[in-house]
A and B are shown apart, each in its own frame.
Chain A
Amino acid sequence: MTIDPDQRYVRNFNTLTRAEQDRLSKSHVAVIGLGGLGGGVCEFLARTGVGCLTLVDGDCFDATNLNRQLLSREDCIGSPKATEAGKRINTINSSIRVHLYQAFIREENILEMIRGADLVVDCLDTIRDRFLLQAAARSLGVPLVSGAIAGVTGQVSVIFPGDRGFELIYGSQPESVGTGPDQGRGIETRTGNISYCAGLIAALQASETVKVLLGRGEVLRNKLLVADLWTNTIEVMDLV
């Protein structure tokens, strides 16, 4: 079905200009991780008008994802997350170019996955892999929009090549994060994750992505936005 872009995006105007809408349609964003954060991020970016999406996740949906992951459904348990994400994007806007990778990121494959993207969105669930992704984005010279959640607390930051990035958030040694069976993960192994917190942080990541792509607004570079929903605290902290 062909839909006139002017009609599709009429409600984006005039928050976005037509020139900005056109710029988004020519943009390529890689979303790494398609769980609680990534499912929301790719939905928001597709609906806002990003023209090309690379979607990466090696996992398949299971019953524990149903409490929060927008792409998960009872009828797709066992299906690859990347496959379901691609289907979902196609139902929103079939003209979006989608590159799917059903694989977990590793040193050997990450550069191939994100090469050509204008921006990378970190929706991963291990801190160790976040450092790997940061290094890859850095080497390709592209900005990284990172989000993370634990329970009803979440955080967002924007990392440009050359920034200290995760070192300021997690410390310089990713190996020091977590011990035992939870090695490489954060406190979310004890708190779980709640759907509306994932949705909130995903929305903030999509917002930062659009601002970076358009060069507009205030961006969370060298800053960490922290949201705690038990206390209704949303605060932007200075990392440097």
Chain B
Amino acid sequence: MIQIDLKLFVTLSKYHPRGGGAYDVAENTSVAQLIGDLGIPVETVKLVFINGKRALPDQVLLDGDRLGLFPPVGGG
């Protein structure tokens, strides 16, 4: 297992057991796999950031990564 720092924004935070923070995942897990494992509907994730940089869902997570997932934010 590896540990990442998982931050789920806005309505996605309900899919983290504690709202956000340290989260254990199996080695070689991709962002897309994690989204599925968390039970997040894939269409609700519009933006993925790993360590402050935009990433694609097929990117494999590494120990210590900071992962942020965003729904579409469009209000004015």
Residue ranges of A at the interface with B (Cβ–Cβ < 8 Å):
33, 35-38, 122-127, 130, 147-151, 153-155, 168-171, 176-178, 185-188, 190-191, 193, 224, 226, 228, 231, 233, 235-240
Contacts and interface: CB of A to CB of B under 8 A. Distances in A.
**Which DSSP category, helix, strand, loop or mixed, fits chain B's interface?**
mixed
Contact of A187 (B11, B53, B68, B76): B11
Contact of B76 (A125, A233, A238): A125
Closest 5 A/B residue pairs (Cβ): A186-B74, A188-B75, A186-B72, A125-B76, A127-B74
Nearest to A235: B52
Interface of B: 7, 9-11, 20, 43-44, 46-47, 49, 52-54, 68, 70-76
Given A235-B52, A237-B53, A238-B54, A149 B46 contact: no
A237 B52 contact: yes
A123 B76 CA distance: 5
A55 to B, nearest CB: 14
A149 B43 CA distance: 19
A177 B72 CA distance: 7
A170 to B, nearest CB: 6
27 contacts: A36-B76, A124-B74, A147-B76, A148-B75, A149-B73, A149-B75, A150-B10, A150-B71, A151-B10, A153-B9, A153-B73, A169-B46, A170-B74, A171-B46, A185-B75, A187-B11, A187-B71, A187-B72, A191-B75, A228-B9, A231-B20, A236-B52, A237-B49, A237-B53, A237-B54, A238-B53, A240-B54
Contacts of B68: 226, 235, 237
Nearest to A169: B47
A65 to B, nearest CB: 11
B9 to A, nearest CB: 6
A188 B74 contact: yes
Contacts of A228: 9-10
B54 A168 contact: yes
Contacts of A226: 9, 68, 70
B15 to A, nearest CB: 13
B31 to A, nearest CB: 15
Contacts of B9: 153, 226, 228
